[in-house]
Amino acid sequence: MSDTILMPKATAVWLVDNTSLTFEQIADFCGLHPLEVKGIADGEVARDIRGADPIANGQLSREELDTAQANPAYRMKAQKSRHAELLKPQKKALRYTPVSRRQDRPDAIAWFLRSHPEVSDAQISKLLGTTKATIDQVRSRAHWNSSNIKPVDPVTLGLVSQLELDAVVRKAADKKAKDDAKKGIVSDGPSLLPAAETGVLQPEERVRKVDLDQASVFSNLQAAPEEDDEN
């Protein structure tokens, strides 16, 4: 019964507190051991768990409960709970790629392999709705259409949205950064070029250049009158 009962221990707590059912009846309904139900009644088990009413959440009918209380040998049958159905994890459907777009997937795979090698095959497979075997074929150029495969952005091809692509690339980059940090690898970040390469003068060079400029100016001023005298 435990796979059909929502919050079995909380349900058992409520049944112990609010009904005259036997431990065996409660244990059978909730999928627990009778000794565990006895521990709940003694306050040794599930002391901090608040009871959940199985009638209120649609797992048990009042008629079924009354029948069980009147007959200790009766075993209650759970109803299909609408709440339990809503709480079931929904399995995400596989990405569907239109037939007209499936021929574009190798191009998108090639783009990932060239532009974002940090993105794993599993991520590419999930994002593009392809298989790891196809990715391996594109990587090793064993794909039947290798001669025509060209790296093309999957957003341009209409296979994914820009938001989906950014999320996958960011996640892969973060994982790579963490892995590199664990291995002690320092990523090649932008570094400052030497002043000699940038053309920026050092302070002492600036002073020297200013002195030279001033000297050339004074020499020109001194030479100017001589030219006037000759005229």
3-state secondary structure 214-231: HHHHHHHHHHHHHHHHHC
Residue 2 falls inside a structural domain: no
Q: Which domain holds residue 70?
A: 8-87
Q: Are 115 and 146 members of one domain? A: yes
Same-domain check for residues 55 and 109:
no
| 3, containing H or E segment | none
Separation of alpha carbons 161 and 163, rounded Å: 5
Same domain for 52 and 72? yes
110 and 178 share one domain: yes
Per-residue pLDDT of the chain (231 residues; tens, 9 = 90+): 444 677 889 999 999 999 999 999 999 999 999 999 999 888 888 778 888 888 888 888 999 999 999 999 999 988 875 555 555 555 555 555 554 455 789 999 999 999 999 999 999 999 988 899 999 999 999 988 888 899 999 988 888 899 999 999 999 999 888 888 888 765 554 444 444 444 444 445 544 554 555 555 556 555 555 444 444
Domain boundary among 33, 61, 87: 87
Final residue before a domain boundary, out of 183, 202, 218: 183
Asked if residue 198 is part of any domain, the answer here is no
**What is the distance between the alpha carbons of residues 214 and 56, in angstroms, rounded to a whole number?**
95
Pair 161, 123 in one domain: yes
- 135 within a domain of the structure (yes/no): yes
Total domain count for the chain?
A: 2
Q: Of 62, 56, 53, which is closest to residue 18 (Cα–Cα)?
A: 53
Is 162 part of any domain? yes
Q: Is the pTM of this model over 0.75?
A: no
Helix pair angle (121-128, 105-115), 10° resolution? 150
